[in-house]
A = this chain, B = another copy of it.
């Protein structure tokens, strides 16, 4: 079920999810690819937030660092599997965030 949380609650949830992504990225450091911790898409006046959903690598192009998109799946078969973050889309509407409450159960305790 979708629930609404305020910004402070949202920040706490995101922090807990991002730490899973950082930890995982530190485990796969030798592969030169990342699960992107925090990815924002603005579309149709809404803001969509994706945590640890997409694979990227960092490249320097013309002196500027860029995220290079690698897809939704583990790009290298041998790598350990990513953390089990429930598939979800976080949508920001006005000043509230709409999330799947499943994520709250996952992060409890």
Residues on A facing B (Cβ under 8 Å): 7-8, 11, 15, 18-20, 22-23, 26, 29, 34, 37-38, 40, 42, 47, 58, 65-67, 95
Q: Is the CB of A65 within 8 A of B29?
A: no
Q: Is the CB of A58 within 8 A of B11?
A: no
Copies in the complex: 2
The 9 A-B pairs at the shortest CB distance, nearest first, are namely: A29-B29, A19-B65, A23-B65, A11-B40, A23-B58, A22-B58, A8-B42, A20-B65, A26-B58
- Please name 18 pairs of A and B residues whose Cβ atoms are closer than 8 Å in the assembled complex, sorted by A: A7-B47, A8-B42, A11-B40, A15-B40, A18-B38, A19-B58, A19-B65, A19-B66, A19-B67, A20-B65, A22-B58, A23-B58, A23-B65, A26-B29, A26-B58, A29-B29, A38-B38, A95-B95
